[in-house]
Structure 1
Amino acid sequence: MTNFVLVAGTWLGAWAWDEVATELRGAGHDVHPLTLSGLAEKQGVAAGQQTHVRDIVGEVERLALRDVVLVGHSYAGIPVGQAAERIGDRLRRVVFVDANVPVDGESFLSGWPSEHVRQSIAEHDGFWPPLGAPEYAGQGLTDEQIARIVDGSPHPGAALTEPAVLTRPLAELPATYVKCLLDGDEPMPAVAELLKSDSWELVELDTGHWPMFSQPRELARLLDAAVRP
């Protein structure tokens, strides 16, 4: 039995996966959506990036899961990629959904103009609040779906500024990268480099950066296909 552990990106909790989880369970999988520390029902918990790595590893160990597929969306690709290295032979595959990937010694904010994010974190007591509704235009979302994201939790700033710590080359892991084409049709350079590995595969989804809302059924099908022989 495949165990999917689903981790959403900034501002979101386990609730973001409700529709995808229903589809995956209907296909016969066990599904474990996970809220990271400091978000949604876990607001008020101090959290950095390594806290989030421990959240994921701890969930796998607490539930004694094997045959695990770790799924990381957006920011969550960074802690998920690190956790995938740390759960050893429990891992079946890691899936990055339009996600950032961990680069040893670099943070979520490394490598792109991020001063506005850092300023926002400083102005909001160490948290990055969700963006305003106009920022989600052109991503295949309904007004209702945008409102749900905008109503999400402020994201702990330390999780965005702490560096990743890798213990082995990420290219060695069995991985699928889901590129959402409305968010740009080319993977970021760090991902493009990893996709040269024989252990990695690229699949595309014709929707925006939040496919768990815009195309949950199609995303679930891709996740199911990623573990089929």
Structure 2
Amino acid sequence: MTVFILVAGAFTGPYVWRDTAARLTAEGAEVHTVALTGLGRKSAGPAAAIDLETHIADVLAVIDPLVAGEGRDIVLVGHDYGIHPVLGAADRRAGAVTRIVHLDSGMPQDGVPALAAVPDQQLREELARGGGGPALPPPARDAWPRWGSTAGLSEAALDGLTALAAPQPLNTLLQPLRLTGAVAAVPVTGVLCTGNGPGIEMVQLMVDLGEPALQPLTDPRVTFFELPTGHWPMLSCPTELAGILIDAAAGGGHRLKAPGTPAHLRPFLLDVPERPRERTGNTDLYLPEGPGPHPAVVFVHGGPVPAEARPTPRDWPTLTGYAGYVAGHGAVAATLDHRLHAVTDYARAAEDVAAAVERVRADPRVDADRVALWFFSGGGPLTADWLAAPPAWLRCLAANYPILAPLPNWGVVDARFHPVRAVAGAGKLPIVLVRAGREMAEIAATVAEFLTEAERCGADVEVVDVPEGRHGFETLDRTDEAREAVHRAVAAVLARLTA
């Protein structure tokens, strides 16, 4: 028999599992919902005495009586904060646990407190200073999005979530998780709620970029499922969640590919003759024939990209391919590396881009009054500065499969980096947007939002569609359709530079 032990997240208790547990039971499983001290279970002592170790003990108290039973597969499910006591308990009973399910939760590491996973940076800093007393009050009805997307929740479900929420003992968030490493032997399933964060395709992309912390996810014992909902799937789609948990217990799910040749390092889809380039600091220049001055296109890579990733983005085939192609058509092309290593790095990445642009414009072979900026993927938020107040020398702004609004799992991001809001200031600035038809849903939603706002404010946007193209199609899709899209996009940008 499969035994599910369900552990709820911050502010919540066993009640959130009611419908999912009922479905699991109907399918023949045994289900236990853990009442964590101070949340689902009353504490005899003060809230200050409740910490992560208290909650680990609560989970162990459910596991231990089950271990004596024969023929039981114990599956621990941790939602949100609940993954921390789940991992702590599984580390001490690794031989008894068949699988751990991370339900829209992070990947806690030894020595790291649950506070690190709180999405709101300002709140993290406040709590780290001990603000708020021994327990954190539960969110008001309109404040739940600070803790996760409420997409999919009915009004009644949101009312119930608010009415039954309990204060979260602060020390449960501040005490570091301690792991011996035994838990690493337990198979794992991640359930990704795409209304609240990345889906499987984006996780694979981050693995391919070489993020060290994500490499264990390519272990064949690790599987993934997606749910198109927000952060509380047990309330928004309990039946679907139950089905996924049953499949997970049986070892089902998608497995990530270990990086061979990552998608972003495969050859560019066009055969572009190699051109000489000049490297100065973080910037490379590709020069056309003739003395100039020539118009220039500055290519800005996406991310976040791990700081230790090699080669660095300016040597990736997509950027070198576009740069060589543009230089072959009479414009100076520039590629650069910037410091977007995490979603909190947009401000310093913007500084790097602005400095590189000024270096390019200062080069005597460049016509400083005819410059285009071309952004890719996660570099999309960096367009906001240029959209909000375009300088006279900026003749065109282009973006390929861009993220044009903060994604749900980013937490609170500086409002400055929100292109949907910034496009109202674009005025007559020509914008060329290359859209992948098979884009990740979470990114496609930001593009649709941007285009709606651009139309409302009368922005000058030309869309180049690649109907069967994927995110990063230049190294993924060697099709005539994809090649034609590159030709069209480059021609559109160069036409605006020379107009």
Relative to the length of structure 1, the TM-score reads 0.89
Offset, 1:132: 2.3
Please say if residues 69 and 95 of structure 1, whose CA atoms lie closer than 8 Å, have aligned partners that are also in contact. yes
1:148 and 2:160 matched: yes
| Greater shift in the superposed pair: 22-31 or 33-42 | 33-42
Instruction: Say if 1:47 and 1:194 are closer, same or farther in 2 by CA, change over 3 A.
Output: farther
Alignment of 1:1-229 (within 5 A): 1-43=1-43, 45=45, 46-64=49-67, 66-110=72-116, 114-117=121-124, 119=126, 122=130, 124-136=132-144, 138-151=150-163, 152-168=165-181, 170-186=183-199, 192-228=214-250
2:178 aligned partner, one-letter code: V
| Greater shift in the superposed pair: 88-97 or 156-165 | 88-97
Deviations 1:188-208 (A, max 9, x none): 979734412222111111111
* Alpha-carbon separation, structure 2, partners of 1:192 and 1:132: 34
SS in 2 for 1:42: coil
Please say if residues 94 and 182 of structure 2, whose CA atoms lie closer than 8 Å, have aligned partners that are also in contact. no
* Alpha-carbon separation, structure 1, partners of 2:249 and 2:60: 20
Offset, 1:134: 2.2
* Alpha-carbon separation, structure 1, partners of 2:28 and 2:10: 28
Deviations 1:170-199 (A, max 9, x none): 543201000000001256979734412222
Query: Percent of counterpart pairs with the same letter?
Result: 33
Offset, 1:126: 1.3
Corresponding residue for residue 440 of structure 2:
none
Instruction: Say if 1:98 and 1:129 are closer, same or farther in 2 by CA, change over 3 A.
Output: same
Instruction: Say if 1:91 and 1:169 are closer, same or farther in 2 by CA, change over 3 A.
Output: closer
Offset, 1:36: 0.6
Unaligned runs of 5+ in 2: 252-499
* Alpha-carbon separation, structure 1, partners of 2:41 and 2:86: 20
Offset, 1:129: 1.8
Higher relative contact order (CA 8 A, sep 6+): 1
SS in 2 for 1:195: helix
* Alpha-carbon separation, structure 1, partners of 2:61 and 2:216: 26
SS in 1 for 2:62: helix
1:210 aligned partner, one-letter code: W
Aligned length: 229
Would you identify which runs of 4 or more consecutive aligned residues in structure 1 move more than 6 Å? 188-191
Instruction: Say if 1:91 and 1:29 are closer, same or farther in 2 by CA, change over 3 A.
Output: same
Please say if residues 100 and 108 of structure 1, whose CA atoms lie closer than 8 Å, have aligned partners that are also in contact. no
SS in 1 for 2:195: helix
Please say if residues 91 and 182 of structure 2, whose CA atoms lie closer than 8 Å, have aligned partners that are also in contact. no
* Alpha-carbon separation, structure 1, partners of 2:219 and 2:134: 37
* Alpha-carbon separation, structure 1, partners of 2:184 and 2:90: 12
Instruction: Say if 1:104 and 1:123 are closer, same or farther in 2 by CA, change over 3 A.
Output: closer
Which structure has the larger Rg over C-alpha atoms?
2
2:10 aligned partner, one-letter code: T
* Alpha-carbon separation, structure 1, partners of 2:152 and 2:62: 32
| Greater shift in the superposed pair: 69-78 or 104-113 | 104-113
Offset, 1:147: 1.6
1:116 aligned partner, one-letter code: L
Deviations 1:88-141 (A, max 9, x none): 322111111001332111101127664424636955431112222223465211
1:227 aligned partner, one-letter code: A
Please say if residues 5 and 69 of structure 1, whose CA atoms lie closer than 8 Å, have aligned partners that are also in contact. yes
| Greater shift in the superposed pair: 30-39 or 145-154 | 145-154
Corresponding residue for residue 419 of structure 2:
none
Deviations 1:155-179 (A, max 9, x none): 1100001001111165432010000
Relative to the length of structure 2, the TM-score reads 0.43
2:38 aligned partner, one-letter code: G
* Alpha-carbon separation, structure 2, partners of 1:133 and 1:104: 33
* Alpha-carbon separation, structure 2, partners of 1:208 and 1:40: 23
| Greater shift in the superposed pair: 185-194 or 120-129 | 185-194
1:148 aligned partner, one-letter code: G
2:26 aligned partner, one-letter code: G
| Greater shift in the superposed pair: 16-25 or 129-138 | 129-138
